[in-house]
Amino acid sequence: MRELLLGMLRRVLPADWASDIVRDLEEAHGRREREVGRFRADLWLSAQAFEFAGRFGLERVGDLFGPSAGAGFLGAAARDVRHALRSLGRSPLFLTAVALTLAAGLGANAAVFAVVRNLLLEPLPYPSPEELVVLQPNPWSPADVTVGLRRAGTGLQTVEAFYPRRFVVSGEEEPWAVEGAVVSPGFLRTLGAETALGRGFTEDDGRAGARVAILGHDVWQRRYGSSPHVLGRTIRLDGVPHAIVGVTEADFRQLTPGSGEPELWTAGVLDRLGAGMLHAESPPWAIPVARLDPRAPPERAGAALQDAIARHLEENPEVVETTRWDVRWTPLRDHLQEGIRHPLLLLQGAAAILLLLACVNVANLYLIRLLSRRQEVAVRATMGASRGRLLRHLLTESVVLGIVGGLAALAVMHLSLNFILAVAPPELTRLEGTSIDAPVSLIVMGVSVGVGALFGIAPALIVTAGPPGRILKERGRTSTASRGRHLVGQALVVGQVTLTLVLVVGAGLLFRSFHSLSGQEPGFRTEDVLVLPMLASVRRYASVPDLGRYQSRLVARLSAVPGVESVGLANHVPIDRRRATRLYVVEGEDAPRQAQYGVVSAGYFRTLEIPLVAGRGFRERDDRDAPRVAVVDEAMGRAAWPGRDPIGKRFRLHDEGGWIRVVGVTASIRGSGLGHDPEPGFHLPITQRPDLPIDLAVGREMVLMVRTRSGLPGMGDALRGAVWEIDPDQPVPEVTPMEGVLARTTSPQRFRAVLLGAFAFVALLLAVTGIYGVVGYQLQERIHEIGIRRALGARDRHTVGRVLLWGLRLAAVGVAFGLVGVVWAGRFLEGLLFAVTPADGATLAGGVALVLAATVGACLIPAYRATRVDHIMSIRSQ
């Protein structure tokens, strides 16, 4: 630390003196270290270093415009700059206050704007992106309807579709999983994807039996080392051999809302519904994507779609119940921004309010400073300086200040962006591409200088107005002109309080919302439960029975670890926004329904303390030779067998044949997230999983959930150790408490709350600074009045009381306006709140209390100083 600071100093200080100063500081630091310890010595050194750097830095810049600079305009400007630097250097507090204010307002804004620009404003990386549309809401079943739109006159150039899914790639060493998509042959071409290697899909690739795949550029680099020999190679996707025919270009991405961009594509048959989801050929649904025909009127596509739907319903009346028909073409851009546009714009709005606050604060600070320099300006005026010259001086100061503020803002901008990226929820993967480029930096500097000039002009005009003689005689007395100036200062403070209240209440609402959301009961136990996701090796466990035995041994060994109360195994984490769903058909019905599903061990329900409300859970007896059973939850029971007992009823999976009997009913859990109501779901026993090729075996990707006794440290290591006793090569990448898993599901809400909270905090600081400045200044002006009161017997507490009252009156006006602002702004928060309304009384009251408390705090120091006023001196200050 010491070396770093001193090294920096050496560079900033003038060469001939640098070594002296550094040496002296080093010695002094050493002495201090012995006296008061390392930490405080370092603090002192930092302060000294900045002071030296600041002073010599300013001197250096001032020397550039040295006294030797010529006469004329340039010379005058140079002198003005030197003078401004000297003057600013004498008021370091003012300089810091303005620089920090500008930095906070501008820097935060620029960072948020960079994010908004990246996620909302940047055009999509596809040719003619405005022509791309998606069918919403999706996914959608009857692919044949949309394929039928591939005709002239439908307002569309082309209709494609894709079906996103995860593939397990095998055939090499350990299998690996990749996010991918089954697409119609023209899909990639429609998005303008070029191949860096090989070819794209052709219509032939789209027929059944042709199994070809295209790799994403990143995957090609990561997994195949960018080898050109990858073409023609065969890989197994979910056990089915595919030939690699192409690699996309480096900059192609198939954007998706949220995470999970596909990196591998296979060509599929999309014009018939077909056998199960496990086969890449005929997925049960698809997401249609189309390109509008720019020559057709915009409504044509929508009308053609409705016609096609109507025709389909006529021909297939029984499908009316099972599919959503209120679909329409939506611009791809809107689809991608769904769910993030609103909160991002909200954040940008909050940042804009912060900027406004910063500008008000800067105006305030300028006004106060210039007003207290009235005397100095008047003296210079009487000594012959023209008004124009004075204005030029003052303006130069403002511009220089703007430059300093702009530099500080650039630093804050980078810090803010890093902060935003750090707290952002993991789904916002596109956030990583956000960067700050030269244009943004230039704009920030430009705005800072502009604000500096703008807020320098008005006070400068005020201060230089009027004959200087009058100003000199004005001391201590209030006049109409000075009362006018007082009003401006007061108005600015009222404005600050208003804006601050809006931000504080907004942040408060988001925090309460997040708090309520986190407090929602998920429906299962989260305390003292550790989660271990693992992937079983295909080499060592090459068949489903092998895998089953391995898993039984794992569960048994983990249960024997001291402190463990129960172990459950499942193929999923109980709460996950992308929970897997299956289509099922109730016995006696034809139409498929949808439910969340999971495959679990016998100990699962007991471990997570999911209550069984009827029947039984799974037993060891429910194995591959026994009849197939399932445990459903209450929501599914109500949906599939309304008003009847689900126990004993049967259903089958939509893409499989055998009947499954319901043997138990559990309470519902919030499988999709804390903010969602419980959805219908069922569980199947892991001992009855189908006999599939091991790559695809259900539960090869497994999650072990272990409930322990409370408060035991070091359980994570003990559990890992137990796993490695069974299989020393089993990677156990993480051991997370269930609470952590739950917290991840609320990270978007936390992101919003934290960010807005940060804005509100800065706003409060700015407001406190503003109030402090105005109250302090007003007190100085009224020192005469205070002195008289005290001479007449006013006690300290009266004086303090008057000051506080004065500040609170101002704040009260600001609060009144602020409440109006809160009500108006509440509309924008509507969709983001959970269990709390924008007009929530408690939050409003809390916000008002906080702002008033800040006001009191800001008035305390001026109030204290007022009590120190010597009445004789103040009366004589006439």
Partner 1 sequence: MGREQLGELEHQVLLAVLRQEAEQAYTAPVVMELEERTGRSTTASAVYVVLRRLEEKGLLTSEMRDAPAGEGGRARRHFEVTAEGRERLLEARDAYVRLWEGLDEVLEGG
Measured between alpha carbons, how far is 476 from 226 in angstroms, rounded to an integer?
80
Residue nearer to partner 1 on the CB measure, 527 or 870: 870
Residue nearer to partner 1 on the CB measure, 66 or 450: 66
The answer to whether the bond into 298 is cis (omega within 30° of 0) is no
Minimum distance, C-beta of residue 18 to partner 1, in the bound complex (Å): 11
Q: Are the beta carbons of 549 and 557 closer than 8 angstroms?
A: no
Minimum distance, C-beta of residue 718 to partner 1, in the bound complex (Å): 58
Residue nearer to partner 1 on the CB measure, 435 or 877: 877
* Closest alpha carbon to 339 in 435, 428, 416: 428
Window contacting partner 1 (CB under 8 A); options: 47-55, 504-512, 514-522, 585-593: 47-55
Minimum distance, C-beta of residue 44 to partner 1, in the bound complex (Å): 11
Out of 33, 42, 59, 785, which residue is the one contacting partner 1 (CB under 8 A)? 59
* Closest alpha carbon to 449 in 536, 362, 337: 362
Residue nearer to partner 1 on the CB measure, 53 or 856: 53
Minimum distance, C-beta of residue 59 to partner 1, in the bound complex (Å): 6
Query: Binders of partner 1: how many residues, by CB under 8 A?
Result: 15
Minimum distance, C-beta of residue 377 to partner 1, in the bound complex (Å): 20
Residues near 465 by beta carbon (within 8 Å), at least 6 away in sequence = none
Residues near 644 by beta carbon (within 8 Å), at least 6 away in sequence = none
Minimum distance, C-beta of residue 13 to partner 1, in the bound complex (Å): 9
Residue nearer to partner 1 on the CB measure, 78 or 694: 78
66-76 core/surface letters (b: 16 or more CB in 10 A; e: else): eeebeeeeeee
Distance of CA 39 to the CA centre of its chain: 35
Minimum distance, C-beta of residue 102 to partner 1, in the bound complex (Å): 24
Measured between alpha carbons, how far is 855 from 770 in angstroms, rounded to an integer?
10
Crossing angle of helices 15-36 and 2-12, rounded to 10°? 160
Window contacting partner 1 (CB under 8 A); options: 54-62, 383-391, 402-410, 780-788: 54-62
* Closest alpha carbon to 268 in 219, 212, 220: 212
Distance of CA 573 to the CA centre of its chain: 24
For residue 322, give the amino acid letter. Answer: T
| Other beta carbons less than 10 A from residue 705's beta carbon | 27
Window contacting partner 1 (CB under 8 A); options: 51-59, 258-266, 642-650, 732-740: 51-59
Task: Supply φ then ψ for residue 751, to 5 degrees.
Answer: -55, -50
Task: Supply φ then ψ for residue 599, to 5 degrees.
Answer: -115, 125
Residues near 46 by beta carbon (within 8 Å), at least 6 away in sequence = 5
* Closest alpha carbon to 139 in 160, 161, 155: 161
Out of 51, 130, 249, 587, which residue is the one contacting partner 1 (CB under 8 A)? 51
Residue nearer to partner 1 on the CB measure, 31 or 324: 31
- Tell me if 14 contacts partner 1 by CB under 8 A: yes
Minimum distance, C-beta of residue 47 to partner 1, in the bound complex (Å): 10
Residue nearer to partner 1 on the CB measure, 26 or 144: 26
Minimum distance, C-beta of residue 459 to partner 1, in the bound complex (Å): 27
For residue 801, give the amino acid letter. Answer: G
Helices (H) and strands (E) in the chain, counts: 26, 21
Please list every residue from 16 through 45 that binds partner 1, using CB under 8 A. Answer: 17, 20-21, 23-24, 27-28
* Closest alpha carbon to 810 in 762, 756, 773: 773
x/- string (CB under 8 A) for partner 1, residues 365-384? Answer: --------------------
Residue 317: exposure state from Cβ atoms within 10 A (0-12, 13-18, ≥19): exposed
Q: Which single residue is written with the structure tokens 């509507």?
A: 830
Out of 46, 48, 323, 730, which residue is the one contacting partner 1 (CB under 8 A)? 48
Structure token pair of residue 177: 């999983």
Residues near 371 by beta carbon (within 8 Å), at least 6 away in sequence = 459, 462, 463, 485, 777
Residue nearer to partner 1 on the CB measure, 52 or 759: 52
Minimum distance, C-beta of residue 21 to partner 1, in the bound complex (Å): 6
Q: Which single residue is written with the structure tokens 């500081």?
A: 25
* Closest alpha carbon to 759 in 510, 504, 515: 504
Measured between alpha carbons, how far is 293 from 304 in angstroms, rounded to an integer?
13
Q: How far apart are the first and last CA of the chain?
A: 52
Residue nearer to partner 1 on the CB measure, 26 or 546: 26
Minimum distance, C-beta of residue 797 to partner 1, in the bound complex (Å): 31
Alpha helices for 295-436 (secondary structure H): 299-315, 332-337, 341-372, 374-382, 387-423
Residue 120: exposure state from Cβ atoms within 10 A (0-12, 13-18, ≥19): middle
Structure token pair of residue 572: 């999923």
Q: Which helix (H) or strand (E) holds 76?
A: helix 72-90
Minimum distance, C-beta of residue 50 to partner 1, in the bound complex (Å): 9
Residue nearer to partner 1 on the CB measure, 61 or 461: 61
The count of residues in the chain is: 878
Minimum distance, C-beta of residue 12 to partner 1, in the bound complex (Å): 12
Minimum distance, C-beta of residue 51 to partner 1, in the bound complex (Å): 4
Residue nearer to partner 1 on the CB measure, 51 or 130: 51
Minimum distance, C-beta of residue 56 to partner 1, in the bound complex (Å): 7
Torsion of CA 652, 657, 658, 663, to 10 degrees: -10
Residue nearer to partner 1 on the CB measure, 27 or 174: 27
Please list every residue from 465 through 524 that binds partner 1, using CB under 8 A. Answer: none
Window contacting partner 1 (CB under 8 A); options: 48-56, 392-400, 602-610, 817-825: 48-56
Torsion of CA 29, 35, 38, 40, to 10 degrees: -80
**DSSP at 633:** E
Please list every residue from 201 through 220 that binds partner 1, using CB under 8 A. Answer: none
Residue nearer to partner 1 on the CB measure, 82 or 430: 82
Residue nearer to partner 1 on the CB measure, 56 or 455: 56
Minimum distance, C-beta of residue 468 to partner 1, in the bound complex (Å): 22
Residue nearer to partner 1 on the CB measure, 34 or 553: 34
Minimum distance, C-beta of residue 867 to partner 1, in the bound complex (Å): 24
Residue nearer to partner 1 on the CB measure, 14 or 731: 14
Q: Which single residue is written with the structure tokens 């007190």?
A: 779
801-815 core/surface letters (b: 16 or more CB in 10 A; e: else): ebbbebbeebbebbb
Window contacting partner 1 (CB under 8 A); options: 55-63, 184-192, 559-567, 734-742: 55-63
Residue nearer to partner 1 on the CB measure, 57 or 857: 57
Residue nearer to partner 1 on the CB measure, 51 or 432: 51
Minimum distance, C-beta of residue 762 to partner 1, in the bound complex (Å): 29
Window contacting partner 1 (CB under 8 A); options: 15-23, 557-565, 782-790, 801-809: 15-23
- Residues making contact with partner 1 (CB under 8 A): 14, 17, 20-21, 23-24, 27-28, 48, 51-52, 54-56, 59
